Amino acid sequence: MASSVIVEVPVIDFSFLKDATAFRDDTYVKLREACEEWGCFLVVNHGIKEEIIYEMDSAARDIFRLPKETKQKNKLPRNEMGYIASTPANPFYESLGILGAPDRTAIQRFSDYLWPHGNPEIRDFYTWEFDDFQIKAIYAYSSSVEELTINIIRVILQSFEVNSRLDTSQFWGFLRMNYYDLPKNEKGGMATHVDHNCIGLLYQDGTGGLQVKSKAGKWAEVKPEMNSFIVILGDCFKALSNGRIHNVTHRVMMERCHDKKFRVSIPYFYDFSLETVVDPLPEFVDENHPRLYKPFVYGDYRNFYVESKKKKIWTKGDFGSETCGEENLYNFAGIQVSTTTSN
């Protein structure tokens, strides 16, 4: 395994989203290189207010403090999208998800499962139409990160001089909350994997532990920077870009060596609807760049991914072992490009 923490993840300043004069000549080049060589980058000056992030973070902590029986009510039809309880292989990890966020109905449904009789403890403080602080925080956060994600996709495509637009009506937001609760002297995390979706915008608290692998095979720690997000590009963006955009391998490795106990991370995934056909955008395919993937139905790929993951045997604490790697997309939809010349 490659040794870790010797390289820095690229940082992209997005202040030009609010102020066009802040656009730098090298922004597109830096962004394109980050997508091609890393499949991830840190987003700074993104314009999302600190309070929105802070309130989402504390809402997630409140929710994870609920009893397990309550959290289990967060059931979702899609595999792995509702409550994920800790397991013998990963005993200090739990996760909850809201498919469809920031859609209010989806968030309200999540709230109704968790608090079928409302949440009287905090209800009186707010007069907004949702009666819970947590729900208000989730709505504010997920609508802000959705807007930012759409902008980031647009700018990534511009950086590749691609004029095609992605049809955002094909997308679903999926807000996931990850919670790592480590007893003293224990190790915790998430095993090495690649995300199967298009793009994830991830907030992590100040604890640290997320690592990403560069295309050159070097692991880098994503240091928690105040007020930054990390963009993680997944298999579907790789397919859309005909292999140009890298699908970054990442993992979480934590050790509790001091009093800080919990780690919260909140990725917002921009996920295709299950029936969407994923096909490279036309600008990415030409004589010099032959098609690398067959068109595929996203839901079929998702099932393939989840099944491949189930087949991997993962032992406790081994966060370096891979659950779903870069080869997965190729195994499912890859076209063998002949390197031999025939006459």
Q: What residues contact 216, with CB distance under 8 A and at least 6 apart?
A: 37
Nearer to ligand AKG, 84 or 157 (CB): 84
Least separation, in Å, of the C-beta of 211 and ligand AKG?
9
Binding residue (CB under 6 A) for ligand AKG from 157, 267, 296, 328? 267
| Region near Fe ion per CB under 5 A, out of 191-199, 297-305, 321-329, 333-341 | 191-199
| Region near Fe ion per CB under 5 A, out of 32-40, 188-196, 257-265, 292-300 | 188-196
- DSSP H stretches of helix in 65-95: 68-71
Binding residue (CB under 5 A) for Fe ion from 195, 235, 322, 326? 195
Using rule CB under 6 A, residue 252 touches ligand AKG:
yes
Beta bridge mates, 192: 322
Q: DSSP E strands: which ranges in the chain?
A: 11-13, 40-44, 93-99, 171-181, 187-194, 199-204, 210-213, 219-221, 229-233, 249-255, 262-272, 277-278, 296-297, 322-324
Least separation, in Å, of the C-beta of 210 and ligand AKG?
4
Binding residue (CB under 6 A) for ligand AKG from 190, 201, 233, 236? 190
182 touches, from ligand AKG, Fe ion, none (C-beta below 5 to 8 Å by class): none
Place of tokens 């998800």: 97
Site for ligand AKG in 192-231 (CB under 6 A): 195, 202, 204, 210
Nearer to Fe ion, 132 or 195 (CB): 195
**90 near 180, Cβ under 8 Å?**
no
Q: How far apart are CA 52 and CA 327, in angstroms?
A: 37
Size of the site for ligand AKG (CB under 6 A): 11
Q: Find the helix or strand (DSSP H, E) in which 109 lies.
A: helix 104-114
253 touches, from Fe ion, ligand AKG, none (C-beta below 5 to 8 Å by class): none
Dihedral pair phi/psi, residue 102, rounded to 5° = -95, 15
Using rule CB under 6 A, residue 250 touches ligand AKG:
yes
Binding mask 147-186 for ligand AKG (x = CB under 6 A): -----------------------------x-x--------
Binding mask 144-183 for Fe ion (x = CB under 5 A): ----------------------------------------
Least separation, in Å, of the C-beta of 93 and ligand AKG?
9
Helix axis angle, 133-159 to 104-114, nearest 10°: 140
Q: What residues contact 212, with CB distance under 8 A and at least 6 apart?
A: 9, 38, 39, 40, 219, 220, 222, 230, 232, 248, 249, 250
**150 near 168, Cβ under 8 Å?**
yes
Using rule CB under 6 A, residue 265 touches ligand AKG:
yes
Per-residue tokens: 147: 């807007």
179: number of Cβ within 10 Å: 22
Residues that bind ligand AKG (CB under 6 A): 176, 178, 190, 195, 202, 204, 210, 250, 252, 265, 267
